[in-house]
Amino acid sequence: MANRVLLLTKNLEIFIEFNTFFNEEGWIIQNVMGPAEVQTVLKEKKVTAIFWDMDVLQDYQQDIALIKQVRQDFRRPIFALTTKTDPEHAYELYTQALINGYFCKPLDYRVIFAQLLQQLWFAGGKLITANLTAETAPKRGYYLEHLLIDRDHYRVTHNGTDIGLTPKEFRLLWYLIKHHNQVLSREQLLQGVWGYDTLGSSRIVDMHISHLRDKIEVDPDHPRWIKTVRGFGYSFEGPLKKL
Express each pLDDT in 104-135 by its tens digit. 988 888 889 888 888 887 766 444 443 444 44
Rounded Cα distance, 203 and 50, in Å: 34
Contact 201, 211 (CB under 8 A): no
In percent, the amount of the chain with pLDDT more than 90 equals 44
Each residue of 51-92: pLDDT tens digit? 999 999 888 899 999 999 999 899 899 999 998 778 888 888
Q: How confident is the model at residue 200, as a pLDDT?
A: 56
The pLDDT value recorded for residue 3 is 84
Contact by Cβ (8 Å): 53, 81: yes
Dihedral sign from CA coordinates of 83, 206, 224, 141: positive
| Phi and psi angles of residue 79, each rounded to the nearest 5 degrees, phi first | -120, 140
Q: What is the pTM of this model?
A: 0.58
Mean pLDDT for the stretch of residues 135-156: 81
Q: What is the pLDDT of residue 66?
A: 94
Asked whether the bond before 220 is cis by omega within 30 degrees of 0, the reply is no
Q: What DSSP assignment string belongs to the chain?
A: ---EEEEE---HHHHHHHHHHHHHTT-EEEEESSHHHHHHHHHHS--SEEEEETTTT--HHHHHHHHHHHHTT--S-EEEEESS--HHHHHHHHHTS--SEEEESSP-HHHHHHHHHHHHHHTT-S---GGG-TTSPPSSEEEETTEEEETTTTEEEETTEE----HHHHHHHHHHHHTTT-EEEHHHHIIIIIS---TT-HHHHHHHHHHHHHHH-SSTTS-SSEEEETTTEEEE---EEE-
